Amino acid sequence: MKAIYPDSGDGDPEAVPGVRPETEGAADVSSLTLEVDGELFALSPNEFGGTDYAWLSGPNPGYGFGVSPTPNLSLDEHMEHIRNFLAQVDPTTGYIEDD
């Protein structure tokens, strides 16, 4: 997960809650692609200190989910989040249905 979270995870001593530093010109952080149970997901960091999971092989382009915060999750924990998401998806629509 170092490609997504390159720091040690100890936190930034100058961080201020609710204030996001400017990222213009910063190096672009690439996403990680995972295959879980035959489905392909792109994982990328989001602005909330979490991870966005884009379902690349799903029937609905752009569909996925996010989890926050996720600074120190292992690959197995990311895979568990994906499996939990897939377990909720209606196979007919490819979406999580509202109750």
pLDDT at 28: 46
> Residue 87: phi, psi to the nearest 5?
-65, -25
Q: What is the pLDDT of residues 50-82, one digit of tens each?
A: 999 999 999 999 999 999 998 889 999 999 999
DSSP 58-99: SSSTT-EEEES--TT--HHHHHHHHHHHHHHB-TTTSSBPP-
Q: What is the pLDDT of residues 10-63, one digit of tens each?
A: 555 555 555 544 444 344 455 799 999 999 999 999 988 999 999 999 999 999
Distance CA 47, CA 66 (A): 11
Tallying the residues shown for the chain, one arrives at 99
Distance CA 72, CA 7 (A): 10
